[in-house]
Amino acid sequence: MSAGNTVESLIALADRLRATSAPIQDRLELVSGCDGLPWLAHVPAATESCISILAQSDAATRSMPCEVGISSMEVPSALATFRRWWPESFIAMGDPGQPDPREPLKPGIVQWRFDGVNASPALAPPSTAGAAAIAAHFAGLPWEPPPLIYDAAAPLADVAVEDLLASMVHPPPMPAGRWDRLPGLWERYIQAWCCLGLLHHQREQPWSTSTRRQMLVELAYGVEDWTTEAALYALVAAAWVDPACRSDVAALVGERFLMMRAAAETRPVTIGVSVAQLAFMTPQMPREIRRRAWEVTAAHQKWPGNDNPLPDESPAPPPPRRSLLGRLRRR
């Protein structure tokens, strides 16, 4: 985050971007202001121990059988990723703890089924065409601030909802190159893009009663998983681009964050920091919840890069407009 920027000033700049007559200049300012920040400039890396084991292994090692012991259950997407990367592996896990992360917090879409602590996809694989369309659309695109990434995801409205949901638990094959340098990153980006695709379905429906809101809420309040983060991110992106839904999204994201913080008092929550980051960057998040989110994120990294965890509730004025040449030099 650039010096002098706050979440409020970046949201104000995003609001100006929607109405400005000079979108290129404001776009440069927004991208620069969000540079380096989780969810605003990139999808944060996974933190599960099984993913850390993958990152420390090589292809030759992963071709051999192995047995891994994990003290507590980790999220289904992380474990599924481990098994895809290390096919001849056996993972022994401890008790999931309470509240049980396998139990959805609200009824709705079921993406994972459990046999004890072992999860498997509850959905059939996506169609070949749908999976290919998702992978081809996003593989070469940069991750940008919410209003820009929302626009970039618009073509995913043409992908069937069933394929978007299925691709979150059956990710398309990972292309060679940069994605194999950090295990789990391909899957996490795929899930985020799929949730952004859901956000573009039936956009003509009023937000409060829309199918897109219902699907994202069901995912966000489903079993604890990377898909929880992806769905929450899509809700936050909706709030960045549509002021009319901000109070609703703040309530949804804030409640989910507080539930996760309560769970973290009795068991490990590997996605807790990421969810706190999402809560902090949510427009109109209540002051006390934003303070608690700041406390979680500040203990792990410099996000949000803000010395004042309790900003004023009133929207910050957008930063002063500078010349295009000055903006380019700043980058």
DSSP string, 124-144: PPPPHHHHHHHHHHHTTPPP-
Return the pLDDT at 319. Answer: 47
- Helix, strand, coil abundance in the chain, percent, nearest 5: 50, 5, 40
Low-confidence ranges of the chain (pLDDT < 70): 1-4, 21-23, 300-331
Please name the amino acid found at residue 276.
A
Residue 21: what pLDDT? Answer: 64
- In a 13 Å sphere around the CA of 297, the CA atoms on its Cβ side amount to 26
Q: By the 8 A CB rule, do 229 and 278 touch?
A: yes
Confidence at residue 180, expressed as pLDDT on a 0 to 100 scale: 75
> Could you give phi then psi for residue 69, rounded to 5 degrees?
-110, 130
